[in-house]
């Protein structure tokens, strides 16, 4: 394979994979604009014959999407804040202090990331019930989801801190800075891009949190948009137009955030957060 053909082949492969992943997204938007009969037409239509945009305001009002999206925003913001505050300090310690116990702790953190949320929900629910945290269900979901996100955050931010030369901290200490001062004024500014990227990814993941919210939050006015989507599923019929319109309005903000910040996200993940 020549040097010219290899990049072209990789480009074709990348475009094919992108098409596979993007087609369901396109189908969601197209289906939301179709009539009830056109959804089940055979052969299917890849774009509605008569697009009906009235489904979006109707679904927004009927399903009180403003409340659902607000709850998703509250949960995602809480999870991101808790993850960044706790995970950044832990990642710094694991990056700077080397001994066998640190390696054991990092291994334990990685093991926590392997466990699925469906396995953890039962012991978490029992524990939250015993301490009375179920009376504050959104707080309970934030704590549970943050506990799930922190291991992934720690592992990647640790790599970012390890790429910051320790000599810079030592020079700051020699100049009279404290360890805290060196951390906040030397290390954090150099690692801010990596931390920001992981914070964005954590927010995007928490915005779609479902398992903990479905199990812990029983009051509809406190449920996030991911749980509200299940309200379209009935025992005898399913409102497919409403589902697709709801899903489109739900995922569009996250897609826009990713499109706007894609350069920073990619550069932060590939460059180790150092310019």
Burial 21-35 (b: 16+ CB within 10 A, else e): eeeeeeeeebbbbbe
The pair of structure tokens assigned to 243 is: 């589902």
For 233, list phi and psi in degrees, rounded to 5: -85, 115
- Give tens-digit pLDDT for 141-198: 999 999 888 888 988 888 888 888 888 877 877 877 787 888 888 888 888 888 888 8
The pair of structure tokens assigned to 255 is: 């897609």
Measured from the Cβ of residue 153, the count of other Cβ atoms closer than 10 Å reads 25
Residue bearing tokens 């403003």:
66
| Contact between residue 45 and residue 34 where contact means Cβ atoms under 8 Å apart | yes
Which one, of 130, 148, 128, lies nearest residue 138 by Cα? 128
What's the pLDDT score for residue 79? 96
Q: d(Cα 194, Cα 265) in Å, to the nearest integer? A: 8
What's the pLDDT score for residue 88? 92
| Contact between residue 270 and residue 217 where contact means Cβ atoms under 8 Å apart | no
What's the pLDDT score for residue 275? 44
The pair of structure tokens assigned to 64 is: 């009180």
Spelled out in words, what is the top-level CATH class assigned to the domain 74-270? mainly alpha
| Contact between residue 47 and residue 30 where contact means Cβ atoms under 8 Å apart | yes
How many helices (H) and strands (E) in the chain?
13, 0
Domain ranges of the chain: 74-270
Which one, of 214, 207, 254, lies nearest residue 230 by Cα? 214
What is the pTM (predicted TM-score) of this model? 0.84
Low-confidence ranges of the chain (pLDDT < 50): 273-275
Q: d(Cα 136, Cα 124) in Å, to the nearest integer? A: 14
Which one, of 137, 149, 148, lies nearest residue 223 by Cα? 137
Per-residue DSSP letter, 201 = H
Q: d(Cα 109, Cα 91) in Å, to the nearest integer? A: 11
In terms of Cβ atoms closer than 10 Å to its own Cβ (0-12, 13-18, 19+), residue 219 is: exposed
């Amino acid at each position: 394979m020549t040097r010219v053909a290899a990049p072209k082949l990789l480009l074709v492969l990348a475009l094919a994979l992108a098409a596979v992943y993007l087609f369901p997204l396109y189908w969601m938007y197209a289906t939301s604009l179709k009539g009830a009969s056109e959804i089940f037409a055979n052969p299917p239509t890849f774009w509605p014959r008569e697009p009906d945009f009235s489904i979006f305001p109707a679904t927004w009002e009927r399903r009180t999407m403003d409340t659902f999206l607000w709850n998703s925003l509250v949960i995602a913001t809480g999870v991101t804040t808790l993850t960044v505050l706790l995970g950044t300090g832990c990642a710094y310690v694991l990056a700077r202090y080397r001994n066998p116990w640190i390696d054991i702790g990092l291994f334990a953190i990685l093991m926590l990331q392997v466990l699925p949320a469906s396995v953890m929900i039962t012991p978490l629910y029992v524990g939250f019930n015993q301490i009375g945290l179920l009376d504050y269900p959104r707080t309970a979901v934030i704590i549970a989801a943050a506990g799930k996100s922190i291991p992934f955050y720690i592992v990647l931010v640790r790599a970012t801190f390890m790429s910051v030369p320790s000599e810079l901290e030592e020079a700051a200490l020699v100049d009279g800075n404290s360890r805290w001062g060196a951390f906040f004024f030397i290390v954090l500014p150099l690692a801010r891009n990596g931390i920001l990227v992981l914070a964005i990814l954590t927010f995007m993941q928490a915005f779609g949190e479902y398992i903990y919210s479905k199990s812990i939050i029983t009051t509809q006015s406190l449920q996030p948009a991911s749980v509200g989507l299940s309200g379209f599923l009935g025992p005898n019929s399913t409102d497919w137009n409403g589902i697709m319109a709801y899903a489109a309005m739900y995922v569009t903000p996250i897609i826009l955030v990713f499109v706007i910040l894609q350069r920073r996200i990619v550069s932060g993940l590939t460059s180790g957060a150092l310019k």
